[in-house]
Amino acid sequence: MLSTATGVPVTTDTLFQIGSITKPWTATMIMQLIDEGNLSLDTTIAQVLPGLRRLGVAGTAEQVTVRHLLTHTSGLDGDVFTDTGRGGDCVERYVDLLADAAQIFPVGAAYSYCNSGYVLLGRIIEVLDDREWDASLRKRLIEPLGLTHTVTLPEEAILHRAAVGHQARPHDEQPVPAWGLARSVGPAGLITASAADVLAFARMHLADGLADDGTRVLSAAAAISMRQPLVKIPGIATGVTEVGLSWRLADWDGRRVYGHDGSAIGQNAFLRRRRLGRWPRPGMRPSRRSSTCIRPTLPVTTSYAGPLTTSRGRRSRSAGSMTGRHTASSAG
């Protein structure tokens, strides 16, 4: 059900907060900007955000690159959830406050899950596109993919059949008192979407950048590069061993899969997919040659058409839980 308080059932068009599964969406837009020649993986923060006062300790902005941010190896404190308001400048204001962020290890020295790094990526998108991150998300991904049940703001979500979060056990029959995370951390975890829309995004990546209708959303080279293993990471989730350009790579009984997990306030999501072969012609839908699993949090219980399963998920205790609490590992 959408909420234990109302008893309204979940349907196939229900929206869930997907938390950090937002990160691959932000990363995809960064890769589009690279495709367009506006950026590179080796562009530094100082180069693309010249107005930034400082980033953590002195000299960090001149060292941290787009690649570091995508792979969680910037060394910046990732557990920064500063609420800078609901205005269109909230991401910019959040990034300005990163001047005081802690540097927990030298740039590039280790992996540590970093929400603040993805907000920085969102700010890069805003500057290069000259519009808010939410607007770029609509123009670059939601509209080209033909998505009709993907939003970022609560006033948009209430126009749909939206699920609310629930407390952790043993109080899991009680809805949480808050809707979601602050808008300022949007690029790291604010998307609310139906399972079908998340699967459409996943199919685009499985098809190396092609939407279901054959529209080229991302270059094949960029899509493939996003799922290549770049940095070994600690066991933050079952079977996860490495990270690519946002995608986490895992081993399932000897089978290579990639995906991401996400947590918001009282909601969790889980996405994994695997290429089973190559498609014989461009534009062919990948659903017959791929395997995709997405699991939203409960107490919602329902079945969906297509390659989707649902089961009981763990619940978030706080905004900080979307980070997974980060043991660092060597990036070598």
For residues 49, 182, 321, 80, the Cα torsion angle rounded to the nearest 10 degrees is 40
Give the number of other Cβ atoms within 10 Å of residue 93's Cβ.
Answer: 15
**Rounded Cα distance, 295 and 312, in Å:** 8
115-129 and 90-97 are packed helices; what angle lies between their axes, rounded to 10 degrees? 130
By the 8 A CB rule, do 265 and 316 touch? yes
Dist CA 191 CA 257 (whole Å): 23
* 136 and 88 Cβ atoms separated by less than 8 Å: no
Q: Which of 20, 184, 246, 316 is catalytic?
A: 20
Q: What residues have CB less than 8 Å from 314, skipping those under 6 apart?
A: 168, 268, 297
d(CA 305, CA 315): 25
Tell me whether residue 20 is one of the annotated catalytic residues. Answer: yes
Give the Cα separation of 306 and 141 in Å (integer): 21
- State both tokens at 214: 């054959």
The answer to whether the beta carbons of residues 181 and 319 sit under 8 Å apart is: yes
Q: How far apart are CA 198 and CA 191, in angstroms?
A: 10
Closest by alpha carbon to 19, among 233, 259, 243, 180? Answer: 180
CA 286 to chain centre: 21
Q: Which residues contact 298 (CB under 8 A, 6 or more apart)?
A: 166, 310, 311, 312, 313
H or E, element range at 123: helix 115-129
> Which residues are tagged catalytic?
20
